[in-house]
Amino acid sequence: MKTLITGGAGFIGTNTADRLLGEGHEVIIVDDLSRRGSERNLRWLQERHGDFAFHPIDIRHFDALRKAFQDHRSLDLVLHFAAQVAVTSSVTDPRTDFEINALGTLNVLEAVRELRTPPVVLYTSTNKVYGALSHLEVIEEATHYRYADLPHGVTETAPLDFYSPYGCSKGTADQYVRDYHRIYGMRTIVFRNSCIYGRRQFGIEDQGWLAWFVIAAVMGSPITIYGNGKQVRDLLYVEDLVEAMLSAYAQIDGTQGQVYNIGGGAENSVSIWLEIEPILFDLFGKEIPVSYEDWRPGDQPIYISDTSKAQRDFGWQPKTGVDEGMRLLFEWVHNHKELFT
């Protein structure tokens, strides 16, 4: 299998490339290396797997991107991960956010469409396309919020309600990817991801919050909780996401043109501090001090993915529980402190 990965030196891209290269597949990485940790991830992949094709391209630059696709025209799969990923950054600079997420995705789709035999395109979207989900009844409990009527979480039939410039740009890209299947017959898949975490994640306060909590705790950096800490997310370990993507690709006859909510599901949902803190305490053996600030724009009090469609269509479900996934993340950070200095 020959796979081109945009954002291939990022967190999800690195884990995916590592899996594919380890299995003997050909991988082409496109990445402008602008994200924190991306150069280190690229070197790590090169040290583990030797030489592979790498193109230092910003996906906003169509001519350079198109040339890279033309240079590797016999592609089987394109995994489009390259993105501006922080809601806060999108609020500060919505133009750049749009150019990377919306225009960049259109550039990828057009570069693929020009190929004689277009490969499968899998795009990682976000649950933020559903907005605040304010039409759902939410109940506040002692340590977490819960849906009154959705025990298994949000399905793909939930109405789209883009919130924040980030939600708008990712949602725009999401719909373009879907429509290129309908209009041009391209084999595309959209994954609306919840919170993905794991090794090789250089999380920061504005993105990759769980990795950031672990990194901050290990390195002694301050942690700020925005809101009351009861906000609930479903957590998915990155290796389970990689398995989901490869499973969806393997069954492309049934998955093309489809959208899937991908996350840890109800069984792997926790509140971002009041239920995460005890797990961190067990890992570190001590309390971790935090401070509190106001809620941030677009922050949902609860989001849980109903992953039953993915299980039905390509037989996937998460395998790594939160306790085990956090242990693996903690061990990686603890054993690689030099990466965070």
pTM of the model: 0.97
Q: Cβ contacts of residue 183 below 8 Å, gap of 6+? A: none
Measured in residues, the chain has a length of 341
Q: Which pLDDT belongs to residue 45? A: 98
Over 80: is that where the pLDDT of 160 sits?
Answer: yes
Q: For all residues of the chain together, what is the average pLDDT?
A: 96
**CA distances, 24 to each of 2, 53, 80, 137 (Å):** 10, 14, 21, 48
Element (H, E) at 4: strand 2-6
Residues sharing a CB contact under 8 Å with residue 67, sequence separation 6 or more, in sequence order: none
66: pLDDT strictly greater than 90? yes
Annotation says 226 is catalytic:
no
Q: What number of other Cβ atoms are within 10 A of residue 142's Cβ?
A: 7
Q: State how far the alpha carbon of 240 is from the alpha carbons of 11, 125, 235, in Å.
A: 14, 16, 11
User: Cα separation of 282 and 279, whole Å?
Assistant: 5
Residue with tokens 């250089």: 202
How far is 73 from 301, CA to CA, in rounded Å?
44
Question: How many percent of the chain have pLDDT more than 90?
Answer: 93
Domain boundaries, the chain: 2-340
Q: What is the pLDDT of residue 326?
A: 97
Say what the pLDDT of residue 323 is: 97
- Please report where in the chains the tokens 């599901």 appear, as a residue: 265
Exposure b/e, 274-291, CB count within 10 A at least 16 = b? bbbbebbeebeeeebeee
123, 130, 147, 166: the active-site residue: 166
Helix axes 276-284, 322-335, angle to 10 degrees: 50
The β-bridge relationship of strands 269-271 and 232-237 is antiparallel
CA of 140: how far to CAs of 90, 206, 302, in Å? Answer: 29, 25, 10
Q: Which residue has the tokens 């790590």?
A: 44
Q: Which residues on adjacent β-strands are paired with residue 28? A: 4, 53
Residue pair 88/296 in contact by the 8 Å Cβ criterion? yes
Q: What pLDDT does 299 receive?
A: 81
What are the counts of helices (DSSP H) followed by strands (DSSP E) for the chain?
13, 15
- Which phi and psi (to 5°) does residue 258 adopt? -100, 160
Overall average pLDDT of the 84-112 stretch: 96
CATH architecture of 2-340: 3-Layer(aba) Sandwich (3.40)
Closest among 34, 37, 35, 73 to 53, alpha carbons compared: 73
Query: How confident is the model at residue 210, as a pLDDT?
Result: 96
The tens digit of pLDDT for each residue in 194-253 reads: 999 999 999 988 889 999 999 999 999 999 999 999 999 999 999 999 999 999 999 999
pLDDT tens readout for residues 245-257: 999 999 999 999 9
